[in-house]
Amino acid sequence: MRKLLTGAAVALPLAVLPAALIPAGSPALGAAPPRPDLAGLVTLKDVEAHLKAFQEIADYNGGNRASGGAGYDVSVRYVAGRLRKAGLTPKIQKFDYPFWRERSRAVLARTAPSKASYRLGRDFATLAYSGSGTVTARVIAVDVPPRGEGTSGCEKADFKGFKRGSIALVQRGTCTFAAKAANARAAGASAVVIYNKPGEKGLLNGTVNKPAGIPVVGTSRTAGVALAKAARTGGLALRVRTDTVHGKRRSSNVIADTGHGRADNVVLLGAHLDSVPAGAGINDNATGSAALLAIAAKINRLGKDGLRNRVRFAWWGAEEEGLRGSTHYVKSLPRADREKIAVALNFDMLGSRNGTRGVYDGDHSTRAGTRAPAGSGAIEKMFRDYFASRRLPTTEHVFSGRSDYGPFIEAGIPSGGMATGADGVKTAAEAKAFGGRAGQVYDPCYHAKCDRLKNVNRKLLGTNTDGIAHVTQHLARTTVAVNGGARLTVGVTSAGAPAWQGPYSLR
Protein backbone atom coordinates (compact mmCIF):
# COMPACT_ATOMS: atom_id res chain seq x y z
CA MET A 1 0.00 0.00 0.00
CA ARG A 2 1.07 3.56 -0.50
CA LYS A 3 1.66 5.55 2.65
CA LEU A 4 -0.45 8.65 3.23
CA LEU A 5 1.52 11.84 3.80
CA THR A 6 0.66 13.64 7.02
CA GLY A 7 1.65 17.10 8.17
CA ALA A 8 1.89 18.87 11.50
CA ALA A 9 -1.25 20.48 12.88
CA VAL A 10 -1.56 24.22 12.24
CA ALA A 11 -3.13 26.38 14.92
CA LEU A 12 -4.36 29.12 12.60
CA PRO A 13 -6.93 28.36 9.87
CA LEU A 14 -5.60 28.65 6.35
CA ALA A 15 -7.86 31.62 5.61
CA VAL A 16 -6.05 33.91 8.08
CA LEU A 17 -2.49 32.99 7.08
CA PRO A 18 -0.55 35.55 5.06
CA ALA A 19 -0.32 34.56 1.41
CA ALA A 20 3.43 34.13 1.68
CA LEU A 21 2.93 31.49 4.37
CA ILE A 22 0.44 29.36 2.42
CA PRO A 23 2.31 26.19 1.33
CA ALA A 24 2.93 25.81 -2.39
CA GLY A 25 0.47 23.42 -4.01
CA SER A 26 -2.30 24.07 -1.46
CA PRO A 27 -5.83 24.20 -2.94
CA ALA A 28 -7.13 27.65 -3.71
CA LEU A 29 -9.33 29.22 -1.07
CA GLY A 30 -12.91 28.08 -1.59
CA ALA A 31 -11.84 25.25 -3.90
CA ALA A 32 -13.42 21.81 -3.57
CA PRO A 33 -11.47 19.44 -1.31
CA PRO A 34 -9.27 16.91 -3.11
CA ARG A 35 -10.93 13.64 -4.09
CA PRO A 36 -10.15 10.77 -1.67
CA ASP A 37 -7.68 8.16 -2.91
CA LEU A 38 -9.02 4.72 -2.05
CA ALA A 39 -5.68 3.03 -2.79
CA GLY A 40 -4.05 5.34 -0.24
CA LEU A 41 -6.76 4.83 2.35
CA VAL A 42 -6.50 1.02 2.36
CA THR A 43 -3.33 -0.23 4.06
CA LEU A 44 -1.54 -3.55 4.13
CA LYS A 45 -2.10 -3.63 7.89
CA ASP A 46 -5.86 -3.55 7.22
CA VAL A 47 -5.56 -6.61 5.00
CA GLU A 48 -3.19 -8.46 7.32
CA ALA A 49 -5.57 -8.05 10.26
CA HIS A 50 -8.21 -9.99 8.34
CA LEU A 51 -5.70 -12.66 7.30
CA LYS A 52 -4.80 -13.22 10.94
CA ALA A 53 -8.49 -13.53 11.82
CA PHE A 54 -9.07 -16.14 9.11
CA GLN A 55 -6.02 -18.08 10.30
CA GLU A 56 -7.31 -18.06 13.87
CA ILE A 57 -10.76 -19.16 12.74
CA ALA A 58 -9.25 -22.15 10.93
CA ASP A 59 -6.94 -23.07 13.83
CA TYR A 60 -9.86 -23.28 16.26
CA ASN A 61 -12.29 -24.99 13.88
CA GLY A 62 -10.69 -28.17 12.59
CA GLY A 63 -7.77 -26.58 10.76
CA ASN A 64 -9.70 -25.34 7.72
CA ARG A 65 -12.45 -23.04 6.46
CA ALA A 66 -13.99 -25.46 3.95
CA SER A 67 -17.64 -25.06 2.96
CA GLY A 68 -19.95 -27.20 5.03
CA GLY A 69 -17.72 -27.00 8.12
CA ALA A 70 -17.55 -24.87 11.24
CA GLY A 71 -14.55 -22.89 9.96
CA TYR A 72 -16.53 -21.66 6.98
CA ASP A 73 -19.61 -20.77 9.03
CA VAL A 74 -17.49 -18.71 11.44
CA SER A 75 -15.77 -17.02 8.47
CA VAL A 76 -19.19 -15.98 7.18
CA ARG A 77 -20.10 -14.47 10.53
CA TYR A 78 -16.76 -12.66 10.68
CA VAL A 79 -17.23 -11.10 7.23
CA ALA A 80 -20.81 -10.08 8.00
CA GLY A 81 -19.74 -8.51 11.30
CA ARG A 82 -16.95 -6.47 9.71
CA LEU A 83 -19.30 -5.25 6.99
CA ARG A 84 -21.83 -4.05 9.58
CA LYS A 85 -19.05 -2.20 11.39
CA ALA A 86 -18.18 -0.51 8.09
CA GLY A 87 -21.75 0.71 7.72
CA LEU A 88 -22.82 -1.80 5.08
CA THR A 89 -25.76 -4.19 5.32
CA PRO A 90 -24.70 -7.76 4.48
CA LYS A 91 -27.11 -10.36 3.14
CA ILE A 92 -26.50 -14.07 3.64
CA GLN A 93 -27.58 -16.12 0.61
CA LYS A 94 -27.86 -19.82 1.42
CA PHE A 95 -27.74 -22.58 -1.17
CA ASP A 96 -27.38 -26.35 -1.47
CA TYR A 97 -24.64 -27.98 -3.51
CA PRO A 98 -23.36 -31.49 -4.30
CA PHE A 99 -20.87 -32.65 -1.68
CA TRP A 100 -17.82 -34.77 -2.52
CA ARG A 101 -14.85 -36.08 -0.56
CA GLU A 102 -12.12 -38.72 -0.83
CA ARG A 103 -12.23 -41.31 1.95
CA SER A 104 -8.77 -42.76 1.34
CA ARG A 105 -5.72 -42.22 -0.81
CA ALA A 106 -6.02 -42.75 -4.53
CA VAL A 107 -3.72 -45.07 -6.49
CA LEU A 108 -2.34 -44.82 -10.02
CA ALA A 109 0.09 -47.50 -11.17
CA ARG A 110 1.31 -48.98 -14.46
CA THR A 111 0.85 -52.75 -14.62
CA ALA A 112 2.02 -53.44 -18.20
CA PRO A 113 4.24 -53.67 -20.16
CA SER A 114 6.33 -52.83 -17.08
CA LYS A 115 5.37 -51.93 -13.55
CA ALA A 116 5.64 -48.46 -11.95
CA SER A 117 3.81 -46.44 -9.33
CA TYR A 118 2.86 -42.75 -9.61
CA ARG A 119 3.07 -40.38 -6.66
CA LEU A 120 -0.15 -38.87 -5.38
CA GLY A 121 0.09 -35.09 -5.17
CA ARG A 122 3.09 -34.90 -7.48
CA ASP A 123 2.39 -37.10 -10.50
CA PHE A 124 -1.39 -37.34 -10.22
CA ALA A 125 -4.46 -36.26 -8.23
CA THR A 126 -8.09 -37.27 -8.05
CA LEU A 127 -10.40 -34.80 -9.75
CA ALA A 128 -13.21 -33.49 -7.57
CA TYR A 129 -16.46 -35.44 -8.06
CA SER A 130 -14.62 -38.46 -9.40
CA GLY A 131 -16.54 -41.67 -8.84
CA SER A 132 -15.25 -44.60 -6.77
CA GLY A 133 -13.76 -47.82 -8.03
CA THR A 134 -10.73 -50.01 -8.57
CA VAL A 135 -9.90 -50.65 -12.22
CA THR A 136 -7.06 -52.52 -13.92
CA ALA A 137 -7.43 -52.28 -17.68
CA ARG A 138 -5.88 -51.47 -21.04
CA VAL A 139 -5.33 -47.77 -21.79
CA ILE A 140 -6.56 -46.17 -25.01
CA ALA A 141 -5.33 -42.68 -25.97
CA VAL A 142 -8.37 -40.76 -27.27
CA ASP A 143 -7.72 -38.23 -30.06
CA VAL A 144 -4.51 -37.10 -28.38
CA PRO A 145 -2.82 -34.45 -30.59
CA PRO A 146 0.87 -34.83 -31.46
CA ARG A 147 1.31 -31.16 -30.51
CA GLY A 148 -0.77 -28.22 -29.31
CA GLU A 149 -3.96 -28.20 -27.25
CA GLY A 150 -6.37 -30.08 -29.49
CA THR A 151 -9.87 -31.27 -28.59
CA SER A 152 -9.07 -34.65 -27.08
CA GLY A 153 -12.22 -36.25 -25.67
CA CYS A 154 -14.42 -33.20 -26.32
CA GLU A 155 -16.62 -34.91 -28.91
CA LYS A 156 -18.46 -38.21 -28.81
CA ALA A 157 -16.97 -39.02 -32.21
CA ASP A 158 -13.52 -39.08 -30.58
CA PHE A 159 -14.49 -42.37 -28.95
CA LYS A 160 -15.54 -44.16 -32.14
CA GLY A 161 -14.24 -47.73 -31.90
CA PHE A 162 -13.37 -47.35 -28.22
CA LYS A 163 -13.30 -50.76 -26.52
CA ARG A 164 -15.68 -50.86 -23.57
CA GLY A 165 -14.03 -51.43 -20.21
CA SER A 166 -10.80 -49.70 -21.24
CA ILE A 167 -9.28 -46.70 -19.49
CA ALA A 168 -9.55 -43.49 -21.54
CA LEU A 169 -6.45 -41.28 -21.71
CA VAL A 170 -7.22 -37.70 -22.84
CA GLN A 171 -5.34 -34.41 -22.88
CA ARG A 172 -6.60 -31.28 -21.16
CA GLY A 173 -7.86 -28.54 -23.45
CA THR A 174 -10.74 -26.78 -25.26
CA CYS A 175 -13.67 -28.29 -23.31
CA THR A 176 -14.27 -28.95 -19.62
CA PHE A 177 -13.03 -31.92 -17.63
CA ALA A 178 -16.71 -32.74 -17.07
CA ALA A 179 -17.36 -33.00 -20.81
CA LYS A 180 -14.36 -35.28 -21.36
CA ALA A 181 -15.36 -37.55 -18.46
CA ALA A 182 -19.00 -37.71 -19.58
CA ASN A 183 -18.07 -38.63 -23.15
CA ALA A 184 -15.66 -41.30 -21.92
CA ARG A 185 -18.24 -42.86 -19.61
CA ALA A 186 -20.86 -42.85 -22.38
CA ALA A 187 -18.39 -44.76 -24.57
CA GLY A 188 -17.97 -47.41 -21.89
CA ALA A 189 -14.70 -46.30 -20.28
CA SER A 190 -14.01 -47.83 -16.87
CA ALA A 191 -11.86 -44.84 -15.78
CA VAL A 192 -10.49 -41.59 -17.20
CA VAL A 193 -6.97 -40.18 -16.98
CA ILE A 194 -6.60 -36.54 -18.05
CA TYR A 195 -3.11 -35.10 -18.47
CA ASN A 196 -1.97 -31.49 -18.65
CA LYS A 197 -1.67 -29.63 -21.94
CA PRO A 198 1.51 -28.11 -23.43
CA GLY A 199 2.93 -25.18 -21.47
CA GLU A 200 1.43 -26.42 -18.19
CA LYS A 201 4.18 -28.16 -16.23
CA GLY A 202 2.29 -28.44 -12.97
CA LEU A 203 -0.04 -31.15 -11.77
CA LEU A 204 -3.49 -31.18 -13.30
CA ASN A 205 -6.03 -30.71 -10.50
CA GLY A 206 -9.65 -29.73 -11.00
CA THR A 207 -13.27 -30.83 -10.92
CA VAL A 208 -15.79 -32.65 -13.09
CA ASN A 209 -18.55 -30.67 -11.30
CA LYS A 210 -20.92 -33.55 -10.55
CA PRO A 211 -20.43 -37.21 -9.59
CA ALA A 212 -18.82 -38.88 -12.60
CA GLY A 213 -19.72 -42.49 -11.83
CA ILE A 214 -16.23 -43.74 -12.74
CA PRO A 215 -12.73 -42.88 -11.42
CA VAL A 216 -11.30 -39.67 -12.92
CA VAL A 217 -7.72 -38.62 -12.19
CA GLY A 218 -5.43 -35.94 -13.56
CA THR A 219 -1.68 -36.18 -14.18
CA SER A 220 1.22 -33.88 -14.87
CA ARG A 221 2.21 -33.10 -18.43
CA THR A 222 5.36 -35.22 -18.11
CA ALA A 223 3.53 -38.30 -16.84
CA GLY A 224 0.75 -37.91 -19.39
CA VAL A 225 3.02 -37.58 -22.41
CA ALA A 226 4.85 -40.77 -21.38
CA LEU A 227 1.54 -42.60 -20.98
CA ALA A 228 0.30 -41.39 -24.37
CA LYS A 229 3.50 -42.61 -26.05
CA ALA A 230 3.19 -46.02 -24.40
CA ALA A 231 -0.51 -46.27 -25.30
CA ARG A 232 0.22 -45.68 -28.99
CA THR A 233 2.59 -48.64 -29.11
CA GLY A 234 -0.04 -50.84 -27.45
CA GLY A 235 0.00 -53.03 -24.38
CA LEU A 236 -0.21 -50.22 -21.79
CA ALA A 237 -2.32 -51.09 -18.77
CA LEU A 238 -2.98 -49.09 -15.60
CA ARG A 239 -4.46 -49.68 -12.18
CA VAL A 240 -6.64 -46.79 -11.01
CA ARG A 241 -8.21 -46.72 -7.56
CA THR A 242 -10.37 -43.96 -6.08
CA ASP A 243 -12.44 -44.07 -2.91
CA THR A 244 -14.94 -41.21 -2.74
CA VAL A 245 -18.28 -40.24 -1.24
CA HIS A 246 -20.82 -37.68 -2.38
CA GLY A 247 -24.13 -36.19 -1.27
CA LYS A 248 -25.69 -32.75 -0.54
CA ARG A 249 -24.47 -29.93 1.68
CA ARG A 250 -25.42 -26.33 2.39
CA SER A 251 -23.24 -23.23 2.13
CA SER A 252 -23.76 -19.49 1.80
CA ASN A 253 -22.61 -16.35 0.01
CA VAL A 254 -22.21 -12.97 1.70
CA ILE A 255 -23.37 -9.96 -0.36
CA ALA A 256 -23.26 -6.24 0.54
CA ASP A 257 -23.97 -3.09 -1.51
CA THR A 258 -22.90 0.49 -0.97
CA GLY A 259 -25.70 2.86 -0.03
CA HIS A 260 -24.82 5.30 -2.80
CA GLY A 261 -24.70 4.69 -6.54
CA ARG A 262 -26.98 3.77 -9.41
CA ALA A 263 -28.78 0.54 -8.67
CA ASP A 264 -29.02 -0.12 -12.43
CA ASN A 265 -25.24 0.03 -12.96
CA VAL A 266 -23.51 -2.22 -10.45
CA VAL A 267 -19.77 -2.79 -10.10
CA LEU A 268 -19.38 -6.22 -8.48
CA LEU A 269 -16.22 -7.34 -6.65
CA GLY A 270 -16.03 -11.01 -5.71
CA ALA A 271 -13.69 -13.44 -3.94
CA HIS A 272 -14.28 -16.95 -2.69
CA LEU A 273 -14.32 -17.32 1.08
CA ASP A 274 -13.88 -21.08 1.46
CA SER A 275 -10.67 -23.09 1.73
CA VAL A 276 -10.01 -26.69 0.81
CA PRO A 277 -10.33 -29.25 3.67
CA ALA A 278 -6.55 -29.69 3.79
CA GLY A 279 -5.79 -26.33 5.40
CA ALA A 280 -6.65 -22.76 6.35
CA GLY A 281 -6.48 -21.42 2.78
CA ILE A 282 -4.74 -18.15 3.62
CA ASN A 283 -3.41 -17.40 0.15
CA ASP A 284 -6.26 -19.41 -1.43
CA ASN A 285 -8.31 -17.38 -0.81
CA ALA A 286 -8.19 -15.43 2.44
CA THR A 287 -6.03 -12.93 0.53
CA GLY A 288 -8.83 -12.07 -1.90
CA SER A 289 -11.44 -12.08 0.88
CA ALA A 290 -9.32 -9.87 3.13
CA ALA A 291 -8.53 -7.37 0.36
CA LEU A 292 -12.25 -6.92 -0.36
CA LEU A 293 -13.01 -6.50 3.36
CA ALA A 294 -10.32 -3.83 3.68
CA ILE A 295 -11.69 -1.95 0.65
CA ALA A 296 -15.29 -2.29 1.83
CA ALA A 297 -14.31 -0.71 5.16
CA LYS A 298 -13.14 2.47 3.38
CA ILE A 299 -15.44 2.62 0.34
CA ASN A 300 -17.95 5.03 1.89
CA ARG A 301 -15.21 7.67 2.22
CA LEU A 302 -15.56 8.22 -1.52
CA GLY A 303 -18.87 9.96 -0.81
CA LYS A 304 -21.85 10.33 -3.05
CA ASP A 305 -19.87 11.93 -5.88
CA GLY A 306 -17.31 9.12 -5.85
CA LEU A 307 -19.98 6.41 -5.76
CA ARG A 308 -22.05 7.28 -8.80
CA ASN A 309 -22.34 3.54 -9.54
CA ARG A 310 -23.30 1.07 -6.86
CA VAL A 311 -20.45 -1.15 -5.66
CA ARG A 312 -21.39 -4.68 -4.62
CA PHE A 313 -19.05 -6.87 -2.57
CA ALA A 314 -19.49 -10.65 -2.68
CA TRP A 315 -17.81 -13.50 -0.83
CA TRP A 316 -18.58 -16.81 -2.54
CA GLY A 317 -19.11 -20.14 -0.83
CA ALA A 318 -18.11 -23.59 -2.11
CA GLU A 319 -15.81 -22.31 -4.87
CA GLU A 320 -13.53 -25.23 -4.12
CA GLU A 321 -16.48 -27.55 -4.78
CA GLY A 322 -16.87 -26.31 -8.35
CA LEU A 323 -17.76 -22.57 -8.30
CA ARG A 324 -21.01 -23.40 -6.52
CA GLY A 325 -21.67 -20.09 -4.77
CA SER A 326 -21.06 -17.77 -7.71
CA THR A 327 -22.96 -20.07 -10.06
CA HIS A 328 -25.95 -20.13 -7.73
CA TYR A 329 -25.86 -16.35 -7.38
CA VAL A 330 -25.86 -15.65 -11.13
CA LYS A 331 -28.52 -18.27 -11.89
CA SER A 332 -30.77 -17.06 -9.08
CA LEU A 333 -30.84 -13.48 -10.36
CA PRO A 334 -33.78 -12.47 -12.55
CA ARG A 335 -32.60 -11.42 -16.00
CA ALA A 336 -33.36 -7.78 -15.25
CA ASP A 337 -31.06 -7.88 -12.21
CA ARG A 338 -28.28 -9.68 -14.11
CA GLU A 339 -28.39 -6.92 -16.70
CA LYS A 340 -27.80 -4.31 -13.99
CA ILE A 341 -24.33 -5.73 -13.29
CA ALA A 342 -22.03 -3.57 -15.42
CA VAL A 343 -18.74 -5.17 -14.37
CA ALA A 344 -17.74 -8.30 -12.44
CA LEU A 345 -14.25 -8.38 -10.90
CA ASN A 346 -12.74 -11.52 -9.38
CA PHE A 347 -9.80 -11.86 -7.00
CA ASP A 348 -8.43 -15.31 -6.22
CA MET A 349 -4.98 -15.82 -4.65
CA LEU A 350 -3.40 -12.35 -4.43
CA GLY A 351 -0.20 -13.27 -2.62
CA SER A 352 1.33 -16.46 -4.05
CA ARG A 353 4.77 -16.89 -2.50
CA ASN A 354 6.49 -17.46 -5.88
CA GLY A 355 3.84 -15.61 -7.83
CA THR A 356 3.44 -12.97 -10.50
CA ARG A 357 1.22 -9.90 -10.73
CA GLY A 358 -1.38 -11.45 -13.02
CA VAL A 359 -4.12 -9.39 -14.65
CA TYR A 360 -6.92 -11.32 -16.36
CA ASP A 361 -6.58 -11.31 -20.14
CA GLY A 362 -9.73 -9.36 -20.97
CA ASP A 363 -8.76 -8.59 -24.58
CA HIS A 364 -7.84 -12.24 -25.28
CA SER A 365 -4.45 -11.19 -26.63
CA THR A 366 -2.89 -14.45 -25.42
CA ARG A 367 -5.42 -16.44 -27.51
CA ALA A 368 -5.66 -18.87 -24.59
CA GLY A 369 -8.49 -19.80 -22.27
CA THR A 370 -11.99 -18.32 -22.54
CA ARG A 371 -12.77 -15.18 -24.55
CA ALA A 372 -14.42 -12.72 -22.14
CA PRO A 373 -17.36 -10.47 -23.11
CA ALA A 374 -16.85 -7.12 -24.81
CA GLY A 375 -15.61 -4.51 -22.37
CA SER A 376 -13.35 -6.92 -20.51
CA GLY A 377 -10.32 -5.58 -22.38
CA ALA A 378 -10.98 -2.13 -20.92
CA ILE A 379 -10.89 -3.61 -17.42
CA GLU A 380 -7.57 -5.27 -18.14
CA LYS A 381 -6.14 -1.97 -19.40
CA MET A 382 -7.23 -0.14 -16.24
CA PHE A 383 -5.22 -2.54 -14.09
CA ARG A 384 -2.21 -2.62 -16.39
CA ASP A 385 -2.10 1.17 -16.75
CA TYR A 386 -2.21 1.61 -12.99
CA PHE A 387 0.69 -0.75 -12.37
CA ALA A 388 2.65 0.74 -15.30
CA SER A 389 2.28 4.16 -13.66
CA ARG A 390 4.05 2.70 -10.62
CA ARG A 391 6.63 0.87 -12.76
CA LEU A 392 5.38 -2.49 -11.51
CA PRO A 393 5.42 -5.39 -14.01
CA THR A 394 2.33 -7.43 -14.84
CA THR A 395 1.55 -10.62 -16.72
CA GLU A 396 -1.62 -11.69 -18.51
CA HIS A 397 -3.57 -14.33 -16.60
CA VAL A 398 -5.87 -16.36 -18.86
CA PHE A 399 -9.54 -16.91 -18.11
CA SER A 400 -9.05 -20.65 -17.63
CA GLY A 401 -12.45 -21.30 -16.00
CA ARG A 402 -10.88 -22.14 -12.65
CA SER A 403 -12.45 -19.34 -10.58
CA ASP A 404 -15.66 -17.47 -9.90
CA TYR A 405 -15.57 -15.20 -12.96
CA GLY A 406 -16.89 -18.18 -14.98
CA PRO A 407 -20.63 -17.76 -14.36
CA PHE A 408 -20.41 -14.01 -15.08
CA ILE A 409 -18.62 -14.54 -18.39
CA GLU A 410 -21.27 -17.08 -19.36
CA ALA A 411 -23.93 -14.46 -18.58
CA GLY A 412 -22.23 -11.98 -20.94
CA ILE A 413 -21.00 -9.65 -18.17
CA PRO A 414 -17.65 -7.86 -18.73
CA SER A 415 -15.16 -9.41 -16.33
CA GLY A 416 -11.66 -8.88 -15.01
CA GLY A 417 -9.49 -9.08 -11.94
CA MET A 418 -6.21 -10.42 -10.63
CA ALA A 419 -4.47 -13.62 -9.56
CA THR A 420 -0.86 -14.43 -8.69
CA GLY A 421 -0.76 -18.08 -9.71
CA ALA A 422 -1.58 -21.52 -8.29
CA ASP A 423 -0.02 -24.77 -9.47
CA GLY A 424 1.54 -23.48 -12.68
CA VAL A 425 5.31 -23.19 -13.01
CA LYS A 426 7.20 -19.90 -13.04
CA THR A 427 9.19 -19.15 -16.18
CA ALA A 428 12.69 -17.66 -16.31
CA ALA A 429 11.26 -14.43 -17.74
CA GLU A 430 8.77 -14.20 -14.88
CA ALA A 431 11.49 -14.82 -12.32
CA LYS A 432 13.52 -11.99 -13.84
CA ALA A 433 10.54 -9.61 -13.69
CA PHE A 434 9.08 -10.57 -10.32
CA GLY A 435 11.86 -12.37 -8.47
CA GLY A 436 11.36 -15.82 -7.04
CA ARG A 437 12.45 -19.14 -8.50
CA ALA A 438 12.03 -20.24 -12.11
CA GLY A 439 10.95 -23.83 -12.59
CA GLN A 440 9.00 -23.85 -9.31
CA VAL A 441 5.24 -23.60 -8.84
CA TYR A 442 3.73 -20.20 -8.07
CA ASP A 443 2.24 -21.35 -4.78
CA PRO A 444 4.18 -24.22 -3.17
CA CYS A 445 1.36 -24.68 -0.62
CA TYR A 446 -1.50 -24.68 -3.13
CA HIS A 447 -4.39 -26.72 -1.66
CA ALA A 448 -2.11 -27.94 1.12
CA LYS A 449 -1.92 -27.78 4.90
CA CYS A 450 0.96 -25.30 4.76
CA ASP A 451 -1.20 -22.56 3.17
CA ARG A 452 -0.90 -20.40 6.28
CA LEU A 453 0.18 -16.82 7.03
CA LYS A 454 3.82 -17.57 6.16
CA ASN A 455 2.70 -18.66 2.69
CA VAL A 456 1.78 -15.10 1.63
CA ASN A 457 3.94 -12.77 -0.47
CA ARG A 458 3.20 -9.47 1.31
CA LYS A 459 4.72 -7.32 -1.43
CA LEU A 460 2.46 -8.76 -4.12
CA LEU A 461 -0.56 -8.67 -1.82
CA GLY A 462 0.01 -5.01 -0.95
CA THR A 463 0.48 -3.70 -4.46
CA ASN A 464 -2.32 -5.87 -5.83
CA THR A 465 -4.75 -4.49 -3.26
CA ASP A 466 -3.69 -0.98 -4.29
CA GLY A 467 -4.56 -1.82 -7.88
CA ILE A 468 -7.93 -3.26 -6.91
CA ALA A 469 -8.77 -0.17 -4.87
CA HIS A 470 -7.71 2.14 -7.69
CA VAL A 471 -9.75 0.36 -10.37
CA THR A 472 -12.74 0.06 -8.04
CA GLN A 473 -12.67 3.81 -7.40
CA HIS A 474 -12.54 4.52 -11.13
CA LEU A 475 -15.43 2.19 -11.96
CA ALA A 476 -17.49 3.43 -9.03
CA ARG A 477 -17.41 6.83 -10.69
CA THR A 478 -17.80 5.76 -14.32
CA THR A 479 -18.04 2.56 -16.40
CA VAL A 480 -18.11 4.40 -19.73
CA ALA A 481 -14.90 2.75 -20.96
CA VAL A 482 -16.33 -0.71 -20.29
CA ASN A 483 -19.93 -0.47 -21.50
CA GLY A 484 -20.81 3.12 -22.26
CA GLY A 485 -22.01 3.87 -18.75
CA ALA A 486 -24.73 1.30 -18.23
CA ARG A 487 -25.01 -2.37 -19.05
CA LEU A 488 -27.82 -3.06 -21.49
CA THR A 489 -29.51 -6.07 -23.07
CA VAL A 490 -27.01 -8.58 -24.41
CA GLY A 491 -27.36 -10.01 -27.88
CA VAL A 492 -25.07 -12.61 -29.48
CA THR A 493 -23.23 -12.15 -32.76
CA SER A 494 -22.90 -14.86 -35.36
CA ALA A 495 -19.40 -15.49 -33.99
CA GLY A 496 -20.87 -16.21 -30.57
CA ALA A 497 -19.49 -13.09 -28.87
CA PRO A 498 -21.78 -10.82 -26.80
CA ALA A 499 -22.95 -7.72 -28.67
CA TRP A 500 -23.86 -4.58 -26.70
CA GLN A 501 -27.05 -2.89 -27.84
CA GLY A 502 -27.49 0.89 -27.46
CA PRO A 503 -28.18 3.68 -27.17
CA TYR A 504 -25.85 4.07 -24.21
CA SER A 505 -26.47 6.31 -21.24
CA LEU A 506 -23.16 8.13 -20.94
CA ARG A 507 -21.91 9.48 -17.64
Q: Which residues are catalytic?
A: 319
Query: How far is it, in rounded angstroms, from Cα 467 to Cα 237?
Result: 51
Query: Residues 221, 192, 110, CA angle at the centre, nearest 5°?
Result: 65
**192-226 exposure pattern, b = at least 16 Cβ within 10 A, e = fewer:** bbbbbbeebbbbbbbbbbebbebbbbbbbbebbbb
Q: Is 127 exposed, middle or buried (0-12, 13-18, 19+ CB in 10 A)?
A: buried
**In this structure, are strands 358-360 and 341-347 parallel, antiparallel, or unpaired?**
unpaired
User: What one-character DSSP code corresponds to residue 164?
Assistant: T
| Contact between residue 280 and residue 70 where contact means Cβ atoms under 8 Å apart | no
Identify the CA nearest to 82 among candidates 324, 262, 290: 290
| CA 397/CA 363 separation, integer angstroms | 11
Cis before 285? omega within 30: yes
Q: With beta carbons less than 8 A apart as the criterion, state whether 148 and 125 touch.
A: no
Provide the sign of the torsion angle of the four alpha carbons 11, 13, 14, 15, taken in this order: negative
DSSP codes, 364-427? -TT--SPPPPTTHHHHHHHHHHHHHHTT---EEEP--S-STTHHHHHTT--EEEEE--SSSB--
132 touches 282 (CB < 8 A): no
Tell me if residue 346 falls in helix, strand or coil.
strand
Determine the 3-state secondary structure of 492 from DSSP. Answer: strand
Angle between helices 287-298 and 458-477 (to 10 degrees): 40
